[in-house]
Structure 1
C-alpha cells in the first residue's frame, strides 16, 4: 500500500470532538435535501402516479430511506472537507458541494413542482456534472470524502436514467 500524494491527502483521523460538527453536517444536508418534499408532496401524490414509468422504477417508498442515507453520506463527506481548514482547495471544494446540493434540490422543483420531466432532465444532467466536479475537488482534499460520494453518484446516475425514461415516455 502506497502513501497518498500531496495533492490527494487522506486526511487525519476523526475523534470525539468531531461528533457535533459531523452530526450538524449530516442534519443540515438532510434538511436541505428534504426541503423540496414539503413543497412538492402534492405533485408527488397526484401527478407522479399518472406518468408512464420506465423499467426499473422503484416503488415510491424506497426514495425516502435511500435519500436519507445518501444525504447522510454526502454530509459526512462535506464535513471531512470542511475540517481541513488548512487545505488550499477546501473553499473551492465546498463551493462545488453547495452547487451540486442546490442542483439536487432544484431537480424536485423542476420535475415535480413544474411537472416537467424535460426541466428535470436539464437539471439532473447539470447535477451529474456538478457531482463529478465536486468529487474531483474532494479527492484533492480528502479521499474519504470522495469515497462517501460514490453511492450518491451511482444513485443520481440511476435517477438520470429514470428521468430520461419519464421524459421519453411522457
Structure 2
C-alpha cells in the first residue's frame, strides 16, 4: 500500500491540474447546445474524483507487483493511456475542438482496454478497479459525440460573439 500513498495523490493531482488548464467556464462552452444526456455539472467533479482515486489504487497494485510478468509493459501502457486521458480537457475545452476531443476519447477507450488486459495479467483486482473508469470513459465518448451532433458548426460563435481559444 506504500505505492498508493504516492500514486493516488499523484493521479488525483494530475487530473485536477488538467482540469485547471482548460475547463467548461468559457463562453464557447456555455454557448454550446447541451445534449439531453449531459449530466448536471457537479457530477463531473464527483465522478472524476472517485475515479482518479480508483485509478491510482489500480496503478499502485500493479507497480507494487515486483517480479510479475508484464509489470513493466502494463505500467508503460498506462502512462501512454493516461496522457490521452489528460489531453482531452485541453483539446475539447482549451482548443475548443469537439471532433478532436472525440478522437482523443476514442484513443483513451481503446488504450484503456489494453491497459485493463495488461493489468489483468499482473493483478486482476487492478483491472477490475478500472471497470467504472471504462464505463465513464465510454459515456464521455457518447456525450462528446452528442456534443458534435448538437453543434455541427463546432460551437463557433456567430454574429460577432466573443470566443476564447487556447492555442498550443
Q: TM-score range by the shorter chain?
A: 0.7 to 0.9
Alignment deviations for residues 87-136 of structure 1 (CA, whole Å, 9 cap, x no partner): 12001001111111110100001100100111101100010101000000
The answer as to 2:67 corresponding to 1:86 is: yes
TM-score (ref. length: structure 2): 0.86
The answer as to 2:41 corresponding to 1:22 is: no
Aligned counterpart in structure 2 of residue 71 of structure 1, from 46, 52, 58: 52
SS of equivalent to 1:29:
helix
2:120: which partner in 1? 139
Over 3 Å counting, the alpha-carbon distance change for 1:156 and 1:164 in structure 2 is same
Aligned counterpart in structure 2 of residue 38 of structure 1, from 14, 17, 20: 20
SS of equivalent to 2:88:
helix
1:1-170 matches, within 5 Å, as 18=1, 20-41=2-23, 43-170=24-151
SS of equivalent to 1:47:
helix
Checking the alignment, whether the CA contact within 8 Å between 1:33 and 1:101 is kept in structure 2 is no
Q: How well do the aligned residues superpose, as a CA RMSD in angstroms?
A: 1.1
Offset of 1:46 from its aligned partner?
Answer: 2.6
TM-score (ref. length: structure 1): 0.85
Cα distance in 2 for residues equivalent to 1:56 and 1:148? 25
Offset of 1:33 from its aligned partner?
Answer: 1.3
4+ aligned runs moved over 6 Å, structure 1:
none
Which structure has greater helix proportion? Answer: 1
